[in-house]
Amino acid sequence: MPSVTAPNSTHQQIDRLAAPARNGELLIWPALDEWPRLLEENVRRRRSYEFEICNRPFGEWSQPSDQPIIASGHQPKFFHPGVWIKNALVAALANRLHTKQEMLVVDADAPASFSIAYPTKQAGELTQRNHRLEGTTAAEPYECMTDVAPQAYDNLFAALHESCGADEALLDEFRDAFLQCEQRDYVSRWQAGMTALDTHLGITVPTYHRITDIFDFAQPRSDAAAAFTVEILRNANAFRAAYNAALADYRRLRRMHGTRHPMPDLDARDDRIELPFWLLNSCHVRRRLWVATKDDAIQIFAEDQRIGTGAIEDLVRNPAAGIGALLGDWQLRPRAIAQTAYYRLFECDLFVHGIGGAKYDAVTDGLLAKLWNIEPPAYTCASATLRLPLPMIDDAKDHLRAAQLKLRDLRFNPQRFLTDPQAAQHATLLAQRTAAIERSRLFAINDRKNRAARREAYDDIRRANADLEQILADERATTQKKIDDLQAGVRQNRIAAQREWFVGLYPAASLRALASDIKQRVAAIDV
């Protein structure tokens, strides 16, 4: 396997993180032998925090586990091997370092469209198709996908079975567990499918924790999440200032302009402050949470609709009960920065991001440092590139560029392609072309303002080229056909080179090889 890519461990170097270029290559940041030290430092760091949440020390909300926890997280989607590799890495580390292994299921996220891409052949050409899961709507959170008809899932897997290069056995393992799951909601089915896939590949299955369970507020394990949320609500102005300042620092370091990237600033309108949470009611479209403080009470709004009012004193005294009463029939879910800030502080000792998460969580570090004057727990990053065994045309881009240049030459320099007999047969035409070119050159040097004469010379050259091009009609047709074929080849190569197909489509042997590489590297760590 190719060697691990390991950029330096600074936030500036995080910007260099990118998907590996070569098939079978791993990205691990920082270097893997640093991870045990980071884990130990994070455990000590989390125990040393002295700031308060709802007037109680942080440590009372974040009780240490009997074992350190290494976790990763992702939306419950049909993700690619670059995401799946975190499962293999966390499993290997948990076994080597004697820690717990968890995965945060970001089921409160909403895909723009639940569509799964896969490669297939159409009229002999490799192409990409996209299958949209019937019964889902745009911007519907994963947690709300509870009523998808069984036939829609059958159709989805039937489409995936059309994929070129798919490992039928591995896909069937995932499909059977997905379809036979006793719980009928999508997220439970997905967890069952991923459990079967990992088990088939010999990967220890993580303990799954859903965002929707953590922020349920009716469960005992939600007490810390409730306190975290109340602390932000009652300090909305300070939180917004720290959040936007962290984003400003991030943008300044990267010379980014505006207030929209990598995510928008939190807004303020009149007496209301926007905070990084969603509100849902009966699984309608998510709406942004706004808060106003008045007379020692907190009012929360879903956009412009007021949801409830609660006394700050009651919320601080019993955050879970207080925020439950404040929300009523509504559910609260954290947006990206609030989500990772909470999980890294309260739920785990080392979090393993993918590339995108590693980059945006530099903002989270800035927020936590500004808000509570702490050094945040360190996080890490892992990804991989794996390609399906699909046919590729060698040097298709180079051959296409050469053919396109030849086609251009056939138009503007057709004389280069005449055979000797053709050149002899059309010597008069060639002489006329040469004479027109010479006239054009002399006019350009001696009489540039004589536009009519220069135009006449240009037209003579163009007509001579067109006549010669007609003589080479067969050569032009052959070249155009070659261009068409090579363009199809470039399209095919683009599809074959993609790394983001569903992990269940890849050969089990290739996935096991990646996992084996991970295990060997973890085994070599000095602990």
DSSP string, 371-390: HH---PPPEEEEEE------
Domain-embedded: residue 460: yes
Q: 179 with 279, same domain?
A: no
Using only the alpha carbons of the chain, give its radius of gyration. 31
- Whether 250 maps to a domain, the answer reads no
pLDDT, residue 265, reads 96
| C-alpha span between 384 and 366 (Å, rounded) | 27
- Check whether residue 294 and residue 357 sit in a common domain: no
Q: Tell whether 414 and 504 lie within a shared domain.
A: no
User: In this structure, is residue 3 part of a structural domain?
Assistant: no
Q: Is the dihedral of CA 445, 447, 450, 455 positive or negative?
A: negative
Same-domain status, 488 and 357 = no
Asked whether residue 252 is assigned to any structural domain, the reply reads no
Domain stops at, among 307, 333, 359: 333
Could you tell me what percentage of the chain is helix, strand and coil, using 3-state DSSP and rounding each to the nearest 5?
Answer: 55, 15, 30
Residues 363 and 404 in one domain: no
Per-residue model confidence (pLDDT) at position 5: 41
Place of tokens 């170097």: 13
Q: What is the pLDDT of residue 232?
A: 98
What would the DSSP string read from start to end of 476-493?
A: HHHHHHHHHHHHHHHHHH
| 168 and 315 belong to one structural domain | no
pLDDT at 10: 65
Last residue of a domain, one of 283, 317, 333: 333
Mark residue 282 as left, alpha or beta (left: phi above 0; alpha: psi -120 to 50; beta: remaining). Answer: left
**Residue 416 within a domain:** yes
- Per-residue model confidence (pLDDT) at position 9: 42
* pTM of the predicted structure, to 2 decimals: 0.89
Q: How many domains does the chain have?
A: 3
Look-up of token digits 């947690």: 143
Q: Report the distance separating Cα 203 and Cα 210, nearest Å.
A: 20
- Is the domain of 64 the same as that of 160? yes
Collapse the DSSP code of 308 into the 3-class scheme (helix H, G, I; strand E, B; otherwise coil) and give the result.
strand
| Spans in the chain with pLDDT lower than 70 | 1-11
| Alpha helices (H) along 396-523 | 396-412, 420-425, 427-446, 451-471, 473-496, 508-523
Pair (478, 510) in one structural domain: no
Kindly state whether residues 66 and 163 are assigned to the same domain: yes
User: Which ranges in 49-185 belong to alpha helices (H)?
Assistant: 58-61, 81-97, 150-160, 168-180
What's the DSSP call for residue 144? G
CA distance 229 to 22: 43
**Cα separation of 344 and 70, whole Å?**
10
The values of phi and psi at residue 81, to 5°, are -60, -25
Q: Do 491 and 504 belong together in one domain? A: no
Do the domain assignments include residue 249?
no
Q: Are residues 294 and 284 in the same domain?
A: yes
Say if 451 falls within a structural domain.
yes
In a domain, 2, yes or no: no
Query: Residue 479 is part of which domain span?
Result: 396-496
Same domain, 50 and 73: yes
